[in-house]
Amino acid sequence: MLSAPEVRERIGRPIIDSDGHLIEYLPLVRDLVAEEHGLGAAQRFDELIGGPDQLGRLPPETRRAIGAMRPPWWALAPDPLDRASAMLPHLLRSRLDELGLDFTFLYPTFGMAALHVPDAEFRGIAARAFNRHAVEVCDGVRDRIEPVAVVPAFTPAEALAALEHAVGELGLKAVVLTGLVPRSIPGSVMSPAAFHDGLGHGAAESYDPVWSACERLGIMPTFHTPAFGFGTRASPDSYVANHIGGFAAGAEAAARSLILGGVPSRFPSLRFLFLEGGAGWAVSLCRDLVGHWQRRAGDHLATYDPARLDRDLIARLLAEHGREAVRLRAGGLDATLDALGQPLGAVDVADEFSASGLGGPDAIRRVFSEQVFAGCEADDPLTRLAFDDRLGHDGRLGVVFASDLGHWDAPVGPQIVPELWEQVEHDQLTEDQVRALVWEHPVRAWAGDGLGPFRGTALEADVRRAQSIQGDGSKSIAR
């Protein structure tokens, strides 16, 4: 196996890691909470952080009785040097060459909880503290490391306030938003989270002001959305049962809401990144959207209009071919023909793609090529699906390398980049595809046509060359 620096040399391009993790130093975060909001808020912070451990100590039957899943356990990097590196960005910065990485985005670990706290006031308190912590501990290393701010998004107003603090005040250049918002039904006897909204189709309010703010600030909305703790991933006794497919399902749901809600169409310059789910969900969603558009959008819908059904022909066929038990009940034919063929309600929309702004299969494929990006871990064999032009997306799916450094599924830091290169050695990916994964696609995702978060970093000159951007920020003519 080649070493990480050897792989980096072989690739011949900078390697961007779009999903490293910061393991927050909790005493500092707690003190930041207390500094702004007092001892009572700090005690609530203790409850937030200690909640999973308390659930983990309960027996499975008790968790089942209260509707709680088994939370993550033994979930962080086992190697002490890797664990310390995820805690201490200055140590991580000193090891990036050993790890084969030129630049890494550090997502929160404990800070992800701030995206999902039920209490609105404390969500904001926790988010501000985690983001202040990220700025503090990453001071002096942001030439090659960019911490990712948590932006709770239960409402558009909340997301806008969090963006203003994280980007406008703290100067952070990358954000992760709540992707699925738990909603309750007033008076329902169901669990408090009866269903989940995305931030596009189905959202209780329009998030367009949030997307406009992201455009203005030059920020790519990213999502690290788990779909566990509810639905079929709420096992009280198996974290593995909850975790498998959880991030893929969360990414698919969040992306589907945005696309059907028309967000990429209304904001064509925005890109959206969905992490930890691999490429499989994106390939499937792209294919499913194309297939559904070809049957259930625009003029295609007329094919299924019940008014066009030849009921007389069906009645004759029933008389000729029906068993006696069916013929004796021929007078009830309408009951069967009307089922699932009811007329539309007064406010129901027939073309459910109309809000998406998508004009057809080519437009759908363009979204998945230019605006929707999926994070793929080094050892994921399904990454190859993103480049397979036989699967209906023209082999141009947006994918980026995402290490998950600091967490349990990246157990040995220096082996992550070599594991990615093994896919070349095993003929699962080509060298050019790996270069796209670690460099071309991340630059396009994070920076668009400009410099994005790489402005002022060690990669600025490389990105300028890749984007043909001149020193004054204008684009040069490629020759």
101 inside domain: yes
pLDDT band at 100 (very low <50, low <70, confident <90, very high): very high
Which CATH number is 126's domain given?
Answer: 3.20.20.140
For 331, which DSSP code? G
Asked if 259 and 211 sit in the same domain, the reply is yes
Decide if 130 contacts 122 (C-beta within 8 A).
no
476 inside domain: no
Asked if 235 and 142 sit in the same domain, the reply is yes
pLDDT band at 230 (very low <50, low <70, confident <90, very high): confident
Asked if 105 and 191 sit in the same domain, the reply is yes
Beta bridge mates, 17: 104
Q: In the prediction, which pLDDT does 468 show?
A: 83
The set of residues, in sequence order, having a beta carbon less than 8 Å from that of 304 and lying 6+ positions away, is 295, 296
Q: In the prediction, which pLDDT does 348 show?
A: 86
Express each pLDDT in 282-292 by its tens digit: 999 999 999 99
Express each pLDDT in 38-50 by its tens digit: 999 999 999 999 9
- Given a cut of 80, whether residue 214 has pLDDT beyond it is yes
Least Cα distance to 151 among 222, 207, 48, 246 occurs for: 222
Question: Residue 184: which domain range?
Answer: 4-295+368-467
Total domains in the chain come to 2
Q: Is the pTM of this model over 0.85?
A: yes
Asked if 191 and 314 sit in the same domain, the reply is no
Strands (E), 152-300: 175-177, 181-183, 195-197, 221-223, 272-274
Asked if 178 and 317 sit in the same domain, the reply is no
263 inside domain: yes
Q: In the prediction, which pLDDT does 191 show?
A: 47
Asked if 309 and 415 sit in the same domain, the reply is no
Q: In the prediction, which pLDDT does 190 show?
A: 40
Token pair listed for 311: 């009921």
Angle of CA points 140, 217, 106, to nearest 5°: 40
pLDDT band at 472 (very low <50, low <70, confident <90, very high): low
Asked if 310 and 454 sit in the same domain, the reply is no
Asked if 310 and 291 sit in the same domain, the reply is no
Asked if 258 and 372 sit in the same domain, the reply is yes
Q: In the prediction, which pLDDT does 479 show?
A: 28
Asked if 43 and 91 sit in the same domain, the reply is yes
Q: In the prediction, which pLDDT does 189 show?
A: 43
Express each pLDDT in 191-203 by its tens digit: 455 689 999 998 9
Asked if 424 and 329 sit in the same domain, the reply is no
